[in-house]
Structure formats: structure tokens, C-alpha cells
């Protein structure tokens, strides 16, 4: 099973700042099948990025994904008030599909 480790656990930033979230896999993710989700309290996760770098439908271009192999990054270029949430990475290249433990982006 591929273990995904996200860092940092919490990111304290101000609106307008740039956020950089990391996701490291215990082994290479096949075909770069890596996704990123945003989750707000009491809500279902929302798919942001799939295939490591492709934005899902309707996702603003301030969200971007990069990386390959075992190291992946989600970047939010300028934080909007609605971006403060928990972010999860997930690999779907090797069954069982697994999620990282999450990074909380909080208002500084």
C-alpha cells in the first residue's frame, strides 16, 4: 500500500499569500495518478486536481498541481478567503487508493 505523507500539517497564511503544500509517496505513483481535494468543515471533499497537474472542471486557475514519481505539490497562487480549508492528496495509481493525512490551511 502506498503511504502518502503531507507537509506541513498546518499552514498559517494571510489572504493574498501563496500556499505551497507537499505530498510525498512511499513509492512511485503509477502514471502520476495523484489528485488533490479541498474539504471544508461539514462538507464533502471537492476535487481540485487530478493526474498530478490537471485542474478539475470549474476550479480556478490559482490552484495548480505539479510533481511526479514520489513528490507532488499543490500551489495556491494567491489565497482567497474561501481557500482556508483542509487539503488532501490521494493516489489512484496502485490499489488500494490511499489518501494523505491532510494539510490545514488556516488564517494567520
Partner 1 sequence: QLQLQESGPGLVKPSETLSLTCTVSGGSSSSSTNYWGWIRQPPGKGLEWIGSIHKSGSTYFNPSLKSRVTISVDKSKNQFSLNLSSVTAADTAVYYCARGACSGGNCYSGVFDYWGQGTLVTVSS
Residue 74: CB partners within 8 Å, gap ≥ 6? 19, 20, 21, 23, 36, 48, 49, 63, 64, 65, 87, 89
Question: How far is it, in rounded angstroms, from Cα 29 to Cα 101?
Answer: 17
Least distance to partner 1 from the beta carbon of 33, Å? 7
Residue with smaller CB distance to partner 1, 17 or 24: 24
Residue with smaller CB distance to partner 1, 22 or 93: 93
Residue with smaller CB distance to partner 1, 14 or 42: 42
Site of interaction with partner 1 (CB under 8 A): 1, 33, 35, 37, 43-47, 50-51, 54, 56-57, 88, 90-93, 95-102
Residue with cell 490545514: 104
Least distance to partner 1 from the beta carbon of 55, Å? 11
Question: Counting Cβ atoms within 10 Å, is residue 95 exposed (0-12), middle (13-18) or buried (19+)?
Answer: exposed
Least distance to partner 1 from the beta carbon of 2, Å? 11
Least distance to partner 1 from the beta carbon of 102, Å? 6
Amino acid at each position: 500500500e502506498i503511504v502518502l505523507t503531507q507537509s506541513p500539517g498546518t499552514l498559517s497564511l494571510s489572504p493574498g499569500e501563496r500556499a505551497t503544500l507537499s505530498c510525498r509517496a512511499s513509492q512511485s505513483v503509477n502514471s502520476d495518478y495523484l489528485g488533490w481535494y479541498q474539504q471544508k468543515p461539514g462538507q464533502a471533499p471537492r476535487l481540485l486536481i487530478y493526474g498530478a497537474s490537471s485542474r478539475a472542471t470549474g476550479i480556478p486557475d490559482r490552484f495548480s498541481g505539479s510533481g511526479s514519481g514520489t513528490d507532488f505539490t499543490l500551489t495556491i497562487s494567491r489565497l482567497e478567503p474561501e481557500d482556508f480549508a483542509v487539503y488532501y492528496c490521494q493516489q489512484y495509481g496502485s490499489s488500494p487508493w490511499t489518501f494523505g493525512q491532510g494539510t490545514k490551511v488556516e488564517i494567520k
